[in-house]
Amino acid sequence: MATRNRLATSAMAEVVLASLRSAEAEHDVTVLFACESSCHGQGAAMPGGGYHVGFIHVHRLSWYLSIERSCDAIECPSRDGVAMSGWDLRKALRLLRHADLTLLQWLNSPVIYLEHREIMQRFRRLAAEAVSRGSHRRLTRPHDTHEFPVGNEPRRAPPAHQEAASPTSEHLDAFLSDVIWRFDAGRRPSSLRRIPLP
């Protein structure tokens, strides 16, 4: 079940949630995660500054099976002081594989408007592995020089002789397949090869 973070309970949060529902209906997607990605999320907003919501969504199964090239991002222009941009789950997983900084900032936003708890817990575990794999590069927030955390604890580089675990393409594909079929009315093919998740 999708849940709201207790930090996002203001009147503006209700506006954001209504905008997310409109985006779901307009683009025929399900939002799995939505956070505040502007300075409002860090408590450093300028007076009159707008809100910007980053979100991750999943399409119906038919969208992924089509041979037509489809846009994997949704951009919603500012309305009622709220602008939104969303990435399809497959795009987010591709970015996760390279420890994309914007994606990591979304995952660590202190203001979460909407979240499917179980799915995003699994997503964060995959993100933590990706960060560990690439931790020879220091991932930092814009305002400090600390190592970028995923969840509650910072991820530090493993010893040079130690090979860090990393989510494989098979693990990411299995996670994507599970989520797609969970939110689609279609049946999972009996021939689908199950791959253990990390």
Q: Is the pLDDT of residue 58 over 50?
A: yes
Residue 98 inside a domain? The answer is yes
Parallel/antiparallel/unpaired status of strands 51-58 and 30-36: antiparallel
Question: Can you tell me whether residue 56 is helix, strand or coil?
Answer: strand
Cβ burial, residue 95 (10 Å; 0-12/13-18/19+): middle
Rounded Cα distance, 182 and 186, in Å: 9
Q: Is the pLDDT of residue 40 over 60?
A: no
Residue 67 inside a domain? The answer is yes
Which residue bears the tokens 């683009």? 27
Q: What percent helix, strand, coil does the chain show, rounded to 5? A: 35, 20, 45
Q: Is the pLDDT of residue 87 over 90?
A: yes
Q: What rounded mean pLDDT belongs to the chain? A: 76
Residue 48 inside a domain? The answer is yes
Rounded Cα distance, 31 and 170, in Å: 24
Report the domain count for the chain: 1
Query: Quick one: pLDDT band at residue 79, thresholds 50, 70, 90?
Result: confident
Domain span at residue 94 reads: 2-182
Mean pLDDT of 150-168: 51
Instruction: Return the minimum-mean-pLDDT range out of 27-41, 56-70, 136-150, 173-187.
Output: 136-150
Give 30 or 197, the one with higher predicted confidence: 30
Residue 188 inside a domain? The answer is no
Residues whose CB falls within 8 Å of the CB of residue 33, separated by 6 or more in sequence, listed in order: 55, 56, 106, 112, 114, 115, 116, 119, 120, 123
Mean pLDDT of 77-104: 91
Reported as a single tens digit per residue, the pLDDT across 107-141 is 999 999 999 999 999 999 999 988 887 654 444 44
Query: Quick one: pLDDT band at residue 8, thresholds 50, 70, 90?
Result: low
Residue 69 inside a domain? The answer is yes
Residue 99 inside a domain? The answer is yes
pLDDT at 138: 43
Residue 78 inside a domain? The answer is yes
Residue 196 inside a domain? The answer is no
Query: Quick one: pLDDT band at residue 196, thresholds 50, 70, 90?
Result: very low
